Structure 1
Amino acid sequence: MPDLPLHVLVLEDHAFQRSVAVNMLRTLGCREVFEASDGDQALAMLQTVGTVDVALCDLQMEGMDGLEFLQRVGATGQVKSVIISSSLSADLRRAVHQMVALLGLELLGDVGKPLHIQMLADLLDKFANRPAMPQPPDAAITLADEGAVRQALAEQQLQAWYQPKFNLHSGEVCGVEVLCRWLHPTQGVISPALFMPVLERCGLLDELLFLQLEQALTVQRRARERGFPLNVAFNLQAVQLASGELASTLRSLLARHRTCGASVTFELTESGLLEAPATSLESLVRLRMMGCRLSIDDFGAGFSSLQRLCQLPFNEIKLDADFIRNLEHEPRCRAAISSTLALGETLGMSVVIEGIETDAQRRELLALGCTLGQGYWYARPMPADDLLNWLQQRSDQQSSDE
């Protein structure tokens, strides 16, 4: 009999099923197995025996149920990990999975009912042999100094980086998303998380956008001269739509770089657009009148309003990467992707899938009918010269393969 140095709590109100679970765990060699018929009894037992490694938890029971028990131990840290064992429907159990994650508990798995000993053994083995979790740093993230950020902006240390967008069928590069990196003279590349909130707080987002437009349109022209037409996409905050300078400045930049509005896309997150005022709508319409594309970014991550989607003049949807991360394990994510593709087709909007990290994801997305995507499986963000060299190398490779 294997020896698993684990302390396990079984929370189950049905006496026979609780007995089966306890015997299975002892057969599997768990060092100590405790049992409780409801949440109150389980909490009292934890006060006596201390922290347990695993709680095998039913959800529906008289007295304190499994949901309230999980809420309680999520706050106390008395349970290291959870295995759900419930006859509730799959959609309800999936919601509980999200709840467990939000409570900061580790979900080992969902064994349903009736229990199967091999499934239980695999999950216990997963816990016993998991790598040690890295400890989070004690210090919170410290935002960059406002003066240093202003200086970086003035000295153009804030540089546009580029992540390619692909046609999933052909592998053809159809555009790039423009991102921002701080190339600090002594500290190297600084994450946007450390300086973007400072720019927003200081009202400098427009200044950054116009700097990025200048940089990216220069790169776009260089790429076009080498035979690589690229659409360049910029992230735009909803608050920036109130600026009267946005459309006029963009028109001047496009004229100076001898390019058209159709070669530029603006990506806006849906959360800031639910109550777009008239001035914002005017800016969106002016951008579309110039030929620019408008993309609603991170679609599905907030409380999407289909009414607003129909009212606002977008012609592209970027589906949030979370749907792709959970594609393999969550049937509803597959349904959400299919529905978004159908919605895009009905509304005459293209759909871009974000966060593609594996070839398996790419193949499954192709099977669902996806056409456009981006993610680390294709390419990571890169500076301007690296992008141009990368495009040339891809072109040379394709020529040699023909």
Structure 2
Amino acid sequence: MKNLSILVLEDEPFQRLIAVTALRQLGLVNIHEAEDGASALSLLKSCGGVDIAFCDLRMAGMDGAAFLRHASQAGVIRSVILSSEVEPELRQATIAMIRCLGLDFLGDLGKPFDMQRAAGLLERHAALPARIEAFTTTSAPPTLEEILEGLAQGEFEPFFQPKVCMESGELHGAEVLARWRHPQRGLLSPGHFLPVMERHGLIDRLFWQLVEQGLELQQELARSGRQVNLAFNIHPRQLGNLDIAERVGLALESAGLPGSGLTFELTENGLVEAPAASLESLVRLRLMGCGLAMDDFGAGYSSLDRLCELPFSQVKLDAAFVRKLNNQPRSRAIISSAVAMADAMDLTLVVEGVETNEQRDRLLSLGCKVAQGFLFARPLDRSSFRNLLANHPQPGIH
């Protein structure tokens, strides 16, 4: 941790002094400080960037939000710790923005500066997997030609984010997330390439590349007696293609794997857009033994109706309810109701977005069992995920 490079972006001199002094007491020596976003950007470009930015939001001139956008585009920071007094709703929107920018959000320090909490947040950065720089000095999105070349060269790969039993630590499987290991731009998250893929009808091609690689991993694990359920996000337009179930079946047969090893996640809003033919595809996938999850439950408008109509086996509660646990009592009521509903309908409830031990403890007290989030693991590449599995016992049948 002592080798970390830090930026303290704070417009109030006394608060900035407190933060810098506390960080030095933690043994950190590579500390930069700035009073506004513009001077911070100039400083970071001259020094080559930092690992972590402690960022205030309300500042004269360029505010914290604008600074984070410019810093992410320039590739001069990797992780962010918020240190600002703002309303809860504004704070949550900022956190969402940070993640959309492809930056690692380590936590919210608030004010005044708490050295013990700061040390804990810095440890989160140390636990992050190493990664290739995801940004260059240009913010231009990749072109269609780049994406087609990346697909042809096999540059897109699955990352795996575990679903974990909060009480025992057992793995219940993992969600498969797309990443692009671009030869020049580095490791890119979906926000950089999915919009272009959607516009040009390339989602299906990406989907099958991820499924193929996921099945290869399952075959490898099966040879050592290990099974892990992998969940793939599926676009509503794909369900309108009646051969999707047949292709899944052929892929499973060729790999010699059971359908129970796969789950397909659909967003609630996406189901509203899905054509009538999607019902047949969903039924056929369930007949094969595949799981079906409603993703981001509660974020749309027809959750309960769709749960009655479609053959779901799992519900993933939207992360927004977890983020509001501390300041919105109604969120706790909704989570408790979701637990009761899932139990009554014999569905597995997976809570998304769990980031702190406090959230985990609150969720356990509300009856939640399975969760997904940065507290347990960030999305891992294939090698890191295999290592994680090697350190976890084979879970029982749930």
Q: TM-score range by the shorter chain?
A: 0.5 to 0.7
User: Are the aligned partners of 1:160 and 1:181 in contact in 2 as well (CA < 8 Å)?
Assistant: yes
Q: What are the within-5 Å matches in structure 2 for residues 354-369 of structure 1?
A: 354-369=352-367
- Deviation string 1:268-294 (CA, Å, 9 cap, x unpaired) is 000021254320111111111111110
- CA-CA distance at 1:392 after TM superposition: 1.4
Tell me, yes or no, if structure 1 residue 144 matches structure 2 residue 142. Answer: yes
Pairwise CA distance, 1:103: 11
> Counterpart amino acid of 2:344?
T
Matches within 5 A, 1:44-123: 98=89
Alpha-carbon offset, residue 351 of structure 1: 0.5
**Structure 1 residue 320: Cα displacement:** 0.6
In 1, Cα distance between equivalents of 2:302 and 2:243: 29
Q: Give the drift of 1:101.
A: 7.5
1:340 aligns to what SS in structure 2?
helix
Quick check: 1:230 aligned with 2:228? Answer: yes
Report sequence identity in percent: 43
- 1:160 equivalent to 2:158? Answer yes
Partner Cα separation in structure 2 for residue 245 and residue 82 of structure 1? 50
Post-superposition CA distance 1:81-100 (Å, at most 9, x none): 988xxxxxxxxxxxxx75x7
Kindly indicate whether the alpha-carbon contact (under 8 Å) linking 1:274 and 1:305 is maintained by their aligned counterparts in 2: no
1:84-133 Cα offsets, whole Å, 9 max, x none, are xxxxxxxxxxxxx75x78999xxxxxxxxxxxxxxxxxxxx869xxxxxx
RMSD: 3.1
* SS in structure 1 at match of 2:201: coil
Given the alignment of the two structures, is residue 258 of structure 1 paired with residue 253 of structure 2, yes or no? no
Q: 1:303 to 1:211 in 2, by over 3 A?
A: same
Aligned with 2:230: secondary structure?
A: strand
Output the amino acid matched with 1:178: V
Q: Distance in 2 between matches of 1:102 and 1:177?
A: 23
Mapping 1:320-359, distance limit 5 Å: 320-359=318-357
CA distance in 2, matches of 1:369, 1:179: 28
Which of the residues 293, 305, 308 maps onto 2:306? 308
Taking the aligned partners of 1:387 and 1:292, their CA distance within structure 2 comes to 22
**Separation in 1 of the partners of 2:315 and 2:355?**
19
Given that 1:164 and 1:374 are in contact with CA atoms closer than 8 Å, whether structure 2 keeps it comes out as yes
| Residue from 182, 195, 198 that aligns with 1:197 | 195
Name which of 207, 214, 239 aligns with 2:212: 214
Instruction: List per-residue Cα deviations over 1:338-371 (Å, max 9, x = no partner).
Output: 1111111122211000111111111111111111
Partners of 1:355 and 1:81 in 2: how far apart?
Answer: 22
Who is 1:294 aligned against?
292
User: Aligned pair in 2 of structure 1 residues 82, 155: CA closer, same or farther (>3 Å)?
Assistant: closer
For the residue of structure 2 that corresponds to 1:274, the secondary structure is: helix
Shift of 1:304: 3.3
CA distance in 2, matches of 1:394, 1:258: 24
Q: CA deviation at 1:192?
A: 1.2
1:169 counterpart (167, 188, 197): 167
Structure 1 residue 256, shift from structure 2 partner = 1.1
Matched, 1:183 2:170: no
Q: Unpaired segments of 5 or more residues in structure 2?
A: 1-11, 14-58, 61-83, 95-110, 114-136
Aligned to 1:378: 376
- 8 Å CA contact 2:92, 2:323 repeated in 1: no
| 1:319 alignment partner, one of 295, 301, 317 | 317
C-alpha contact 2:171 2:392 (8 A) present in aligned 1: no
Corresponding residue of 1:107: none
Q: Deviations over 1:5-54 (max 9, x none)?
A: 9xxxxxxxxxxxxxxxxxxxxxxxxxxxxxxxxxxxxxxxxxxxxxx99x
Which stretch has the larger CA shift, 340-349 or 248-257? 340-349
Alpha-carbon offset, residue 391 of structure 1: 1.6
Measured at CA, do residues 103 and 278 of structure 1 come closer, stay the same or move farther in structure 2, by a change above 3 Å?
Answer: closer
3-state SS of paired residue (2:164): strand
Instruction: State the Cα distance separating 1:227 from its structure 2 match.
Output: 3.2
- In structure 1, the partner of 2:276 is 278
Partners of 1:275 and 1:103 in 2: how far apart? 26
Structure 1 stretches of at least 4 aligned residues deviating more than 3 Å after TM superposition? 80-83, 100-104, 139-142, 393-396
Distance 2:299 2:138 in 1: 25
1:195 Cα offset (Å) = 0.3
